Amino acid sequence: MRYCTRLLSVLLLCLSAGMALADGIQVDKVQVRQSEDGFQLAVEYGVTLNFALQQALSRGIPLYFVSEFSLTRSRWYWLDEDVYQSEQSTKFSYNVLTRQYRISRGALYQNFTSLDEALNTLSRQSSGVIPVSLMDRSSSYVAEVRLRLDTTQLPKLLQVNALTGRDWNLDSDTYRWAVRFNGEGQPE
């Protein structure tokens, strides 16, 4: 009986630790897309909001997420060359009256009836178009992406909580991968 109680408590502890680690942002898929205008860095994140962020959102406090993209070319004779850098801001909000979530990027916005639908759209980010003229297909590149909650755009009282609390630290960390081109000039 005592053994079963200990085993049950260890299992519950492991389950609660796993649930705590589930909140946050992780990179699920990265790719380089080619179009006739150039290239785009595309990322799919796994975004999970913790209880504190869900509560803030449900009370009408907008959350701002910043996606960062960069592309560098390694050079043996000098410092790495920065080929492309961009940063995009996405506003994630909830309207209490209409009971709809909204994702806004610049002047474009989209409404959603469920949190899961909105998070699914938020999780798909892509850079602006990188002109073909900036890319040398005989070189290899290092692409970097990152998605983070911008706590500087929270209301001032919540910024203090964000500085001291782990609940407001939502960041994917920088994810790097090598970009090379195959013999046909397509990104691998």
User: What is the extent of the structural domain holding 41?
Assistant: 24-179
**For residue range 59-88, what is the model confidence (pLDDT) as tens digits?**
999 999 999 999 999 888 888 899 999 999
pLDDT at 2 over 90: no
Residue 139 inside a domain? The answer is: yes
Q: What is the pLDDT of residue 183?
A: 63
- Please tell me the total number of residues recorded for the chain in this structure: 188
Strand boundaries in the chain, DSSP class E: 24-34, 38-48, 63-73, 81-95, 100-105, 108-112, 124-126, 130-131, 141-149, 175-179
Residue 65 inside a domain? The answer is: yes
Using 50, 70 and 90 to split pLDDT, how confident is the model at 180?
A: confident
Residue 140 inside a domain? The answer is: yes
* pLDDT mean across residues, the chain: 84
Better-scored residue on pLDDT, 126 or 12 = 126
Residue 37 inside a domain? The answer is: yes
Q: What is the spatial distance between Cα 164 and Cα 122, in angstroms, rounded to a whole number?
A: 26
Task: Tell me the range of 42-51, 128-137, 175-184 where mean pLDDT is highest.
Answer: 42-51
pLDDT at 11 over 60: no
Residue 187 inside a domain? The answer is: no
Q: What is the mean predicted confidence (pLDDT) over 124-149?
A: 90
* Residue type (1 letter), 85: Q
Residue 150 inside a domain? The answer is: yes
CB 64: neighbour CB atoms within 10 A?
17
pLDDT at 13 over 60: no
* 8-40 exposure pattern, b = at least 16 Cβ within 10 A, e = fewer: eeeeeeeeeeeeeeebbbebeebebeeeeebbb
pTM over 0.85: no
- Residues paired with residue 178 on neighbouring β-strands, in sequence order: 142
Residue 17 inside a domain? The answer is: no
- Residues paired with residue 84 on neighbouring β-strands, in sequence order: 71
Using 50, 70 and 90 to split pLDDT, how confident is the model at 28?
A: very high
Q: What is the pLDDT of residue 132?
A: 86
Name the domain count of the chain: 1
Q: What is the spatial distance between Cα 127 and Cα 88, in angstroms, rounded to a whole number?
A: 8
Residue 16 inside a domain? The answer is: no
CATH number at residue 141: 2.60.40.10
Closest CA to 162 of 90, 61, 20: 61
Using 50, 70 and 90 to split pLDDT, how confident is the model at 6?
A: very low
Q: What is the mean predicted confidence (pLDDT) over 144-162?
A: 85
Reported as type and span, the H/E element at residue 28 is: strand 24-34
Q: How many helices (H) and strands (E) does the chain have?
A: 4, 10
